[in-house]
Amino acid sequence: MTSTEEALSLANGLPATTETRELPRCPTGVYGLDDITGGGLPLGRPTLVCGGAGCGKTLLALEFIVRGATEYGEPGVFISFEELQSDLVDNVRSLGFDLGRLTAEGTLRIDHVRVERSEIEETGEYDLDGLFIRIGHAIDAVGAKRLVLDTVESLFSGFSDERVLRSELRRLFQWLKERGVTAVITGERGEGGLTRQGLQEYVSDCVILLDHRIEQQRSTRRMRIVKYRGALHGTNEYPFLIDRDGIRVIPVTSLRLDHKVSRERVPSGIAHLDEMLGGGGYYRGSSVLVSGSAGSGKTSIAAHFLEAACRRGERCLLFLFEESPDQMVRNMESIGIGLRPHIESGTLVVHAARPTLTGLEAHLAVMQRMAREVSPAAVVIDPITNLTVVGTRLETNLMVTRLIDTLKSSGITTFFTSLTGSPDAPEATDIGISSLMDTWLLLRDIELGGERNRGMYVLKSRGMAHSNQIREFVLSDRGVQLAPVYLGPEGVLTGSMRLAQEAREQAAAAARRWEEERSRRELARKRAAIEAQLAVLRAELESHDEDLRKLDDQSTAEDVDAEDRRTRMARSRKQRS
């Protein structure tokens, strides 16, 4: 029997020279899987996909076939040992896989191999040529490049002669390699090994392990490449999920830093904030984080940004994890930001969901899918921190990383709000994601003088000369206003203390003006008094002059009189004598 020779050659290991070269890849088309396998499954070789019941093996295998037929022009054969063809067709219809159409087009062939122990009495020597012929015929019928055997281990329940089965399986996989089809073999996870029947002994090129567990009442699916011969592959566990588009593997750790950056600015919607950011606003395609404690005005800043973008006619996508769209629109209307017309016109697309509704990966998938469908200029997530209730801090960070990565590579500006817990150290809680952010605005409550006011500053903004000042942040019926704060010896003064300080300054100024006026009036009065004195003196002088003139006149007159009298006297004397 040739199988012993094969067993020996496998046990000894194949020559190393053939192992070191990179195997050509067959792209699966399964979202994310090709990223973590470096391009796909080994071309023309069998790959083992194993995992427990309900882990998604069959779906992964089926998607591999469907994507091949629909996206890569590679017809496929699906050999099902468990499910009937009609069941398979029904099960994946909800995922948008129309197996009936593909079968009719001749790009897919499904064969249900029924293994019934009760029907099979073994009467002597046999082999599995019947199965070989079936598979071979199916491959030839559609010209298949891809093949799935799901789950070939079922044969072990139908045939009692394990020795024959094992040698036949080894022969089967060897034969598949010779036929050059890229095959996915699924296997049920066994107690002490990857598969119940040790299939990994036969399929040695690539082994993928799927896992489905419940953590904190949430279903989490994970995938790990256990083995990929002659290739570097991600060794981490990658979360994956099954949504309406099929399987989505989230290669969370593959953050790329090769996206193009834009020098174009997008206004923040708040004129003063644009000034603080060196004029112009955020960079297009950058990521912006606004963090602050509850009620500090994060959503308002986001709404300003959205409204400004919508008004320029740029499509925006808003994810709400806290409020309903109606509630948010109403609240923003109260500060004079009208989002409703933009929602109605379709410029603004709002998606609201409870964070606990689904797992983290599902949220990410929804966001990525919507971003693909809407192709927005900006995406706002309010607040990103609510997602931490679904996953751990690490998971959320990885998810945000992945999301930013996707959106940035499409040149989409991302805007996140983040709720910080402790007002004492608001920066600390955001450290995980803040390093991913290009611009970080921090809203701080400033409690002073028996009231709480909002202060805002730009903690960082990469690539722009931004203000280092704290501005007071006032929510008015005309939206967010940024007021310069009073910086005095006792620190930042805000709110009514700022107003009081301003009033004091105004009073002082008024007093100064009044004092000046008073001095001016006093001087004028003094001048008037002096002038009055001058007038009196002048009048006195005039009267003196007058007196003098009178005196002169009088003396002259007296002289005349005296002369006159003398004359008259002389005249009278002459008359008497």
Partner 1 sequence: MSHKNSESESTRDAREFWDLRLYIAGETPKSNAALANLRGLCETHLSGKYRIEVIDLRQNPELAMADQIIAIPTLVRKLPMPIRKIIGDLSNTDRALVGLQIERRIH
E-state strands within 182-229: 182-188, 206-215, 218-228
HSE-CB for 374 with a 13 A CA cutoff: 25
- Interface with partner 1 includes 113 (CB under 8 A)? yes
82 touching partner 1, by CB under 8 A = no
How do strand 451-461 and strand 471-476 relate by DSSP bridges? Answer: antiparallel
User: Least distance in Å: CB of 141 to partner 1?
Assistant: 8
Q: Which is nearer to partner 1, 114 or 393 (CB)?
A: 114
Q: Look up tokens 């990857």; give the residue.
A: 194
d(CA 260, CA 251): 21
CB of 168 to partner 1, least distance (A): 9
Nearer to partner 1, 160 or 435 (CB): 160
Provide the minimum distance between the beta carbon of 172 and partner 1 in the complex, in angstroms, as a whole number: 11
Six token digits for residue 164: 């024959």
Long-range Cβ contacts of 355-359 (<8 Å, 24+ apart): 355/321, 355/386, 355/387, 355/389, 355/390, 356/389, 356/390, 358/390, 359/218, 359/219, 359/220, 359/241, 359/390, 359/391
Beta bridge partners of 206: 47, 228
β-strand pairing of 265-266 with 282-283? antiparallel
Partners of 484 in the beta sheet? 471
Smallest gap, in angstroms, from Cβ of residue 184 to partner 1? 20
Q: Which of residues 489-518 bind partner 1 (CB under 8 A)?
A: none
Query: Of 125 and 344, which CB lies nearer to partner 1 in the complex structure?
Result: 125
Q: Find how far residue 450's CA is from the centre of its chain.
A: 36
Tell me which residues in 114-173 interact with partner 1 (CB under 8 A): 114-115, 119-134, 136-138, 155, 158-159
User: Of 77 and 403, which has the nearer Cβ to partner 1?
Assistant: 77
For partner 1 (CB under 8 A), the number of binding residues is 26
At 166, which amino acid appears?
R
* Least CB distance to partner 1 at residue 169 (A): 12
Q: Tell me whether residue 160 or residue 327 sits nearer to partner 1 (CB atom).
A: 160
C-beta of 81 vs 440, nearer to partner 1 = 81
Q: How far apart are CA 198 and CA 186, in angstroms?
A: 12
Residue 26 vs 181, nearer CB to partner 1: 181
Phi-psi sector, 54: left (phi>0), alpha (psi -120 to 50), beta = left
As a whole number of angstroms, the distance between CA 25 and CA 45 comes to 10
**What is the number of alpha carbons within 13 Å of residue 496 lying toward its C-beta?**
6
Instruction: Enumerate residues 237-276 that contact partner 1 by CB under 8 A.
Output: none
Closest to 376 in 3D by CA, of 401, 351, 340, 402: 351
CB of 171 to partner 1, least distance (A): 13
Least Å distance between CB 137 and partner 1? 4
Residue 112 · residue 50 · CB < 8 Å: no
Of 131 and 470, nearer to partner 1 (C-beta) is 131
Nearest approach in angstroms of CB 121 to partner 1 is 3
Site for partner 1 in 187-216 (CB under 8 A): none
Query: Taking the CB of residue 127, how many other CB atoms lie within 10 A of it?
Result: 12
Smallest distance from partner 1 to CB 135, Å: 9
Count Cβ atoms below 10 Å from residue 490 Cβ, excluding itself: 10
State yes or no: residue 456 binds partner 1 (CB under 8 A): no
Q: Which is nearer to partner 1, 5 or 125 (CB)?
A: 125
Asked whether the beta carbons of 68 and 151 are under 8 A apart, the reply is no
111 part of the interface to partner 1, by CB under 8 A: yes
Which is closer to partner 1, CB of 113 or CB of 403?
A: 113
Question: What's the closest the beta carbon of residue 120 comes to partner 1, in angstroms?
Answer: 6
Binding-site ranges for partner 1 (CB under 8 A): 111, 113-115, 119-134, 136-138, 155, 158-159
